[in-house]
Amino acid sequence: NEKGRLDAACLYTAGLCGVNEVYAMGGAQAWAALAYGTESVEKVDKCLGPGSKYVAAAKRLLSDVLNCGLPAGPSESIILADATPDPVDIARNLLVEAEHGSDSAALLITDSELLAQEVSKKLSELGDNLPEPRRTFVADVMSGYGGILIVKDIVKGAELANLFATEHLQIRTADPFATLGLITNAGEILLGDNVPFSAANYSVGANAVLPTGGNARTWSGVSVGDFKKRSSVVYLSESGLENLRSHAATLAGYEGFPAHQRALIDWTAAGKSGR
């Protein structure tokens, strides 16, 4: 926090997980320290996690010296709904995402004008009852990166959702599994009326470090695989290379690499002379 103190719950949880090294720092400057190293912070090769718009900018600037993983900036969400869900519940879920900060995005895309009208009314009522600074955050989001879009049908709504490629996508239709087949770009997809954004953030086990800013088109959420890497290991027997080398030599010659080609053509003589 502003006094340089670490959150007690985070420290306790880190201890349970076996973490034995914790730095009291955050923000863009923390990423810079990890990228370059300081007298008290050891340089690292890879660092993953979300952050503010300043952290997102820092990650882009540091990408040549640090593997920053997926782009994960301010929170964003879309609810894709038909006329079936409860408008109060839809409004509550929009507030869940909007209260993150003024630079968050919280959108409802629906083919029901009636649902849109009812949700709009409930947003004002419920948002005004939030304490500060969350109330101001919600007002900023709903007049900025948030709002309600009315579309011709759910197919068109899915097209818009795919174009946005949101971090969190909630599908609230009569048949969410059928609607799921229309979605190609989203960091996280929550199906049906029983998976509120809050549950996904805290308790269902899905990773909450997800791509933002349209990057769900090419990125997935953080997983164990992000902490692993692979090396190609190749062994060929003499007969194995003998079967391949003429084809490889042809490709090398076509691409204009004579040394590559010569090494393959002369392999037998060179190999035997070295014995």
User: What DSSP letter does each residue of 87-101 carry, written as one string?
Assistant: HHHHHHHHHHHHTT-
DSSP H stretches of helix in the chain: 8-16, 27-36, 53-61, 87-98, 113-128, 134-142, 154-164, 176-180, 197-202, 238-254, 258-265, 267-273
- The residues assigned a catalytic role are 167-168
For residue 161, CA distances in Å to 34, 175, 188, 249 come to 35, 17, 12, 48
Closest CA to 115 of 89, 135, 138, 140: 89
Q: Which residue has the tokens 């029983």?
A: 194
